[in-house]
């Protein structure tokens, strides 16, 4: 089926993309000023949007591309795809009324670019600067369970295939641009990630300092006022009564004849059975299975980025 062309308000021509999304085929960018995705298959939509982002022709990768709100429910299961951050977001019932200045700015910008300009695969920074300038947007992170460390720059990461490459090369791109004064950065958050694979999917748990196992029990301490004996609740328990193992008196009223000054950990490893107050904290990486101590984790600062004047001058020249 040919992809439908619509004449929208203010002379903006839209093309509804259906089959070409399934075929992952980029339509002729000169046929319409904007593209509207009319396909409910989230997997194919993602592949298509990535092909648009990676396309060498600015008329393609700068093209305003919208998703439709009516299809949003079909994408719901694929939240980690960040579809709306791989394009210009959602519109309702092909209504672009409030987007016209936004679209116009992009179309004028594309028109002013050298018509035969094609970007090579290694010109990712230039591609990024052109895109964010044309959108008048900052490069912002999004929290995403589908990314390696939970903080994702979806459009930057779309340049790469695996989540490891996306993380490593994507961060290197942003960092390099910052160091060369193409981007300014604003601190947002600090994240702790695996020392080996940079994953943020980490499990923190208490460990026995003696045998390093983490199957522990928390035991409440009891302090008998009369004889000053302190031990775990278990050692006072006789049936449902509390009897002091030192002076054999029964403990009746919390706060009157005894109190609970704290708790201790008890190691459930049969060969250890260590009782201790300060456990170690161990960190297990769910992505690569590496065990590490909290101080060994890598620390990453998360920033949002904006184009500098140097970047803008470069784009406009
Ligand atoms: Zn132990
Ligand atoms: Zn006692
Ligand atoms: Zn790891």
List, for residues 72-117, the tens digit of each pLDDT value. Answer: 999 999 888 889 999 999 999 888 989 999 999 999 999 998 777 7
Residues with CB under 5 A from ligand 2 (ion): 224, 227, 229, 244, 246-247
Does a structural domain hold residue 297? Answer: no
Average pLDDT over residues 202-227: 96
Domain membership of residue 288 (yes or no) is no
Strand pairing partners for 36? 16, 66
Say yes or no to pLDDT of 213 above 80.
Answer: yes
Calculate mean pLDDT across residues 221-245.
96
The rounded Å distance from CA 229 to ligand 2 centre is 6
Ligand that lies nearest to the alpha carbon of residue 226, given by its number in the listed order: 2
Same domain? For 3 and 107 the reply is yes
Instruction: Map tokens 């009891």 to a residue.
Output: 222
Tell me which ligand sits closest to the C-alpha of residue 285. 3
- Between the CA of 182 and the centroid of ligand 2 the distance, in Å, is 72
How far apart are the CA of 264 and the centre of ligand 2, in A? 19
Tell whether the model's pLDDT for residue 267 goes beyond 70: yes
pLDDT score of 225 more than 90 = yes
CA of 249 to the centre of ligand 2 (A): 6
pTM for the complete prediction? 0.84
The Cα–Cα gap between 78 and 158 comes to: 16
Same-domain pairing of 214 and 113: no
Total domain count, the chain: 2
Q: How far from 82 is each of 25, 75, 130, 181, CA to CA, in Å?
A: 21, 10, 21, 28
Mean pLDDT for 152-176 is 94
**pLDDT over 60 at 1, yes or no:** no
Cβ atoms of 105 and 71 within 8 Å: the answer is: no
| Per-residue pLDDT band at 122 (split at 50, 70, 90) | confident
Q: 229 or 122: which carries more pLDDT confidence?
A: 229
Could you tell me the distance, in angstroms and rounded to a whole number, from the CA of residue 288 to the centre of ligand 3? 4
**13 CA from centroid of ligand 3 (Å):** 48
- Whether 108 maps to a domain, the answer reads yes
In a domain, 251, yes or no: yes
What residues pack around ion ligand 3 (CB closer than 5 A)? 194, 196-197, 199, 285, 287-288, 290
Q: Last residue of some domain: 117, 142, 174?
A: 117
**How confident is the model at residue 202, as a pLDDT?**
96
Residue 2 banded pLDDT, cuts 50, 70, 90: low
In a domain, 103, yes or no: yes
Q: Residues near 104 by Cβ (< 8 Å), separated by ≥ 6?
A: 10
For β-strands 241-243 and 237-238, DSSP reports them as antiparallel
Mean pLDDT score, 158-184: 94
Does any domain span residue 195?
no
Q: Is residue 242 one of the residues assigned to a domain?
A: yes
Cα 231 to ligand 2 centre (Å): 10
Report the alpha-carbon distance of residue 258 to residue 245 in Å, rounded: 13
Percent of the chain whose pLDDT exceeds 90 = 85
Among 29-38, 91-100, 124-133, which is the least confidently predicted range? 91-100
Indicate whether 10 belongs to any domain.
yes
pLDDT of residue 18: 94
Instruction: Indicate if the pLDDT at residue 34 is higher than 90.
Output: yes
In this predicted structure, the answer to whether residue 11 has a pLDDT above a threshold of 90 is: no
Mean pLDDT of the chain: 94
Distance 217 CA to ligand 1 centre (A): 11
Predicted pLDDT of residue 198: 94
Q: Are residue 2 and residue 112 in the same domain, yes or no?
A: yes
| Arithmetic mean of pLDDT, 68-74 | 96
Rounded mean pLDDT of 237-242? 95
Which of 117, 142, 172 terminates a domain? The answer is 117
Fill in the DSSP letter of residue 289.
-
For residue 292, which ligand has an atom nearest its CA?
3
Q: Are residues 111 and 213 in the same domain?
A: no
Instruction: Give me the pLDDT at residue 10, please.
Output: 80
**Of 83, 117, 151, the domain-final residue:** 117
The alpha carbon of 262 and the centre of ligand 1 are apart by a number of angstroms equal to 20
Cα(156) to ligand 3 centroid in Å equals 22
Rounded CA separation 198/227 (Å): 53
Nearest ligand to the CA of 246 is 2
- Ligand 2: centre distance to CA 219 (Å): 19
* CB burial of residue 272 (10 Å; 0-12, 13-18, 19+): middle
Q: Above 60 in pLDDT, residue 42? A: yes
d(CA 158, CA 40): 20
Strands of the sheet with 34-37, listed across from one edge: 5-7, 13-17, 34-37, 65-68, 90-91
The boundaries of the domain holding residue 250 are 209-278
Give dist(CA 84, CA 39) in Å, integer: 14
Ligand in closest contact with the CA of 258: 2
H helices present in the chain, as ranges: 19-22, 42-54, 58-61, 72-75, 100-112, 124-135, 154-157, 163-179, 233-236, 309-316
């Amino acid at each position: 089926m040919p992809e439908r062309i619509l004449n929208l308000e203010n002379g903006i021509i839209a093309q509804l993309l259906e089959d070409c999304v399934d075929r992952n085929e980029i339509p002729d960018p000169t046929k319409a000023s904007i593209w509207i995705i009319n396909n409910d298959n989230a997997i194919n939509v993602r592949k298509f949007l990535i092909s648009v982002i990676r396309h060498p022709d600015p008329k393609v990768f700068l093209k305003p591309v919208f998703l439709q709100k009516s299809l949003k429910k079909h994408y719901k299961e694929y939240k980690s795809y960040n579809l709306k951050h791989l394009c210009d977001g959602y519109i309702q019932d092909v209504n672009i009324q409030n987007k016209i200045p936004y679209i116009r700015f992009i179309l004028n910008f594309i028109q002013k670019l050298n018509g035969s300009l094609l970007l090579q695969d290694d010109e990712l920074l230039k591609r990024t600067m052109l895109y964010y300038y044309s959108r008048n947007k900052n490069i912002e992170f999004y929290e995403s369970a589908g990314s390696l460390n939970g903080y994702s720059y979806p459009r930057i990461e779309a340049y790469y295939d695996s989540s490891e490459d996306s993380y490593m090369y994507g961060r290197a791109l942003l960092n390099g641009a910052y160091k060369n004064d193409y981007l300014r950065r604003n601190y947002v958050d600090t994240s702790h990630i695996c020392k080996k694979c940079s994953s943020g999917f980490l499990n923190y748990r208490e460990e026995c300092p003696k045998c390093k196992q983490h199957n522990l029990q928390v035991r409440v301490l009891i302090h008998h006022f009369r004889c000053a004996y302190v031990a775990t609740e278990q050692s006072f328990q006789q049936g449902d009564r509390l009897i002091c193992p030192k002076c054999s008196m029964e403990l009746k009223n919390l706060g009157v004849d005894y109190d609970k000054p704290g708790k201790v950990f008890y190691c459930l490893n049969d060969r250890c059975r260590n009782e201790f107050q300060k456990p170690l904290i161990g960190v297990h990486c769910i992505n690569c299975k590496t065990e590490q101590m909290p101080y060994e984790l890598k620390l990453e600062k998360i920033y949002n980025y904006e184009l500098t004047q140097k970047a803008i001058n470069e784009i406009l020249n």
